[in-house]
Amino acid sequence: MLKTNDGTFNETKDIIEYFRGKNYNTEQNLSRKECAKIMAYNTMLKEKLFPALQFIWWIDEKNVNELIRPWYCKTLPFPLNFYYPGKFERQARAMLETLYPVEDNISVIENKVYSEAQKCLTLLSTSLGDSVYFLGEEPTLLDAIVYSYLAPLLKAPLPNPALQNHLKACTNLMSYISRISERYFSNECCEYKTKENDQSIKKYAQNEFPNKRRNQFFAGFFATLVMATYAFSTGILEWYIRILHGAKTHVYTSVSYLCGWLMA
């Protein structure tokens, strides 16, 4: 979404046309071959990667219930926070039904869209190689398009990160996204890194808590075992066991005394 004095633009094509109208045209210095490459990659991203992103955002139940819906409910005002998630989910399902009209198994559809998306990411990684940007040393429209697909996929804290993990395995794409984020969205990038570190610390503390309790239990158990072994070795416990053949009062007294000694 782009908000300007001339209005609000929601669609990517409308945003691009707006900047072209303001003479911000990154294609004017490109060759016909490079312009054709932009069109080809834009089509590939729409056909191969976009369906997978729609599946991730609006079909995957774990992502929808644990991240997307709570996020929209928190960010948008009432009643829009209930209207838009349902609308986007219906649009995503309609798109997938169009792409796979004879397939009813959602797991099969998931595998297919993820497979196509992974191939797309791998091709992008191969095409970028060691270059700074896709068409040279300065960003172009192609980089803006690619970034708009990859950055949300990388940055979103997805509960089900299957495709996200494939993107993270493409290290040059990771560097590419970070490079653009730091150059054009430095404030947002710093804020994201701060939140990411806070989440990592919180997650570590949560994971450490059961381990800490476990270690405390084993430490206490080990200490008790050592003291009991000492009692056997010195004959203290054996002396009390022999009292078992005597009065029960002595047994109760001895056991109470022994427990008090072990816990001291």
**What would the CATH number be for the domain defined by 31-207?**
1.20.1050.10
Provide the pLDDT for residue 166.
Answer: 98
**pLDDT tens per residue across span 85-137:** 999 999 999 999 999 998 889 999 999 999 999 999 999 999 999 999 999 88
Q: Check if the beta carbon of residue 81 is closer than 8 Å to that of residue 73.
A: yes
pLDDT at 198: 65
pLDDT at position 227 is 52
Pairing of strands 7-9, 2-4: antiparallel
The distance of Cα 42 from the centroid of its chain, to the nearest Å, equals 25
What DSSP string describes 130-180?
T-SBTTBSS--HHHHHHHHHHHHHHHS--SS-HHHHHHHH-HHHHHHHHHH
Backbone region of residue 136 per phi and psi (left: phi > 0; alpha: psi in -120 to 50; beta: other values): left
Quote the pLDDT of residue 247.
44
Mean pLDDT computed over every residue of the chain: 79
Give residue 22's pLDDT band: very low, low, confident or very high (50, 70, 90): low
pLDDT for residue 250 is more than 90: no
For residues 222-247, average pLDDT: 47
Stretch 40-44: mean pLDDT: 96
Residue 207: Cβ-neighbour burial (10 angstroms; 0-12, 13-18, 19+): exposed
- Section 55-63 average pLDDT: 96
159, two tokens: 């509960």
Question: Where do the CATH 1.20.1050.10 domains begin and end in the chain?
Answer: 31-207
